[in-house]
Amino acid sequence: MRIYLHDYGRYAFITDLGRALAARGHTVRLGYSATNLVPQDLLERRPGDPATFSVDPIAAPPVDKRARSVGGLVARRRSEAAYGRAAAEHVAAFGADVVLCANTPLDALGAVMGAARGSGAAFVNWLMDVLSTGARAVLAERFGRGGDLAGRAFEWREGRLLRAADAVVAITDDFRPLLDRWGVEARRVAVVENWAPLADLPARPKDNAWARAHGLAEIPVVLYSGTLGMKHDPALLLALARRLEQTGADRKPADRKPAGRLVVVSEGDGADWLAARQAEGGAGALTLLPFQPFEAFPDVLGTGDVMAAVLEPGASAVSVPSKVLAYLCAGRPTVLSVPADNLAARTVVNAGAGETAPPGDAGAFADRVLALLADDGRRAAMGARARAYAEAAFDLDAVADRFEAVLADAVARRR
């Protein structure tokens, strides 16, 4: 098959899938946003890559995801629509048998689907987040009834796009009730859970080059790495940083220092909010860093003693924090402030690789983190189980088998 794999978010595990499918004899072109602000993969050809694998950067005006006014939101939609038009041109020029599309804003997704239809290609929607449901909640909070109506329009549009796809790949069974409600035929839905690029994320020691360069090799570190946006709650991280600082202040005067540092590697709305609160004082145990180069990512993860993940309750049914999968590869325990029924929470708890705290409960979240920081034996045991789970579950060949079958079925259905 000629496969156009579109990944707006530039995730490393999606690149791995593209390479795996190309190694099976398919011609794969990986299209991605050249301007999107995300933790980015090394998107370039590597020695040994199949000749049938190529990367295709799509240039378009950058999208301002931080817009909060009505005018700003309109400008964001225009930017995303402009990106969609650019992506559609790339898809049309490739002449695919099938287009597999992931992490794409709705205003761009429709254009990419239209280009697939125009060239006679099948279209597969890789559903990692239900975008409209989260957007509706945020719009309603910011703009009241008018925002809720706009959110309903987004939901109608996303449902229509999902119904029109030749196949839908959902990352969790938890999405099925919503897909059923939107009228997406069950026979066209396949569930393939996300994974992490195990080969690119070896477990690294705490004392590594990146940790030493940032003065973190010899102090306890709680690490949050990844996007920190509308569906997350940065206030939980701020409260955790303050608890780390206060816990250290309770010690004898000669020993007073934070119990550890919270290192947040992120950019965007949530990171900006944390920076503003830090400037106001009272978060001395917080270190904010921008996204790091992908080649440094294993060392970044290795620097953490305990990993942190947060998700607001309203986003649990429509989102799964993929950063947790990278944490598992690192061989570190994770504390999640997410609903217990979220897939990421179930994965970590069932693997014995961490703990959960009730979402929004800053005290419980900090308690669990501090307890793990104080218990070397539990951390080591949970970390070992985390890596063991990743090595057993993140089987790229098995994942490629599933996607190959879904794509072939979609092509047959379209024909």
- Could you tell me which residue, 190 or 42, shows the higher pLDDT? 190
What CATH number is attached to the domain comprising 218? Answer: 3.40.50.2000
Most confident of the following: 90-104, 125-139, 224-238: 90-104
3-state secondary structure of 3: strand
332 shares a domain with 204: yes
134 shares a domain with 251: no
Pair of tokens at residue 172: 């969790």
pTM: 0.86
Total number of domains constituting the chain: 2
Pair of tokens at residue 363: 């005290």
Reply yes or no on whether the pLDDT at 191 is more than 70: yes
Domain carrying residue 275:
198-393
226 shares a domain with 316: yes
Surface-to-core class of residue 98, CB atoms within 10 Å of its CB (0-12 exposed, 13-18 middle, 19+ buried): buried
178 shares a domain with 67: yes
Q: Which of 136-140, 282-286, 364-368 has the lowest mean pLDDT?
A: 136-140
Fill in the amino acid letter for 300. V
368 shares a domain with 226: yes
Distance CA 298, CA 304 (A): 10
Chain centroid to Cα 383, Å, comes to 21
171 shares a domain with 71: yes
220 shares a domain with 177: no
- Could you tell me which residue, 398 or 151, shows the higher pLDDT? 398
Q: Measured between alpha carbons, how far is residue 50 from residues 53, 201, 316 in Å?
A: 5, 21, 38
132 shares a domain with 273: no
Q: How confident is the model at residue 180 (pLDDT cuts 50, 70, 90)?
A: very high
Bridge partner list, 225: 265
Distance CA 79, CA 283 (A): 35
Whole-angstrom Cα Rg for the chain: 21
70 shares a domain with 48: yes
3-state secondary structure of 310: strand
- Please write the tens of the pLDDT for every residue from 24-75: 999 999 999 887 655 555 567 778 889 999 999 998 776 655 555 555 566 7
155 shares a domain with 15: yes
Query: Which whole number is the average pLDDT over 372-376?
Result: 95
Distance CA 322, CA 228 (A): 12
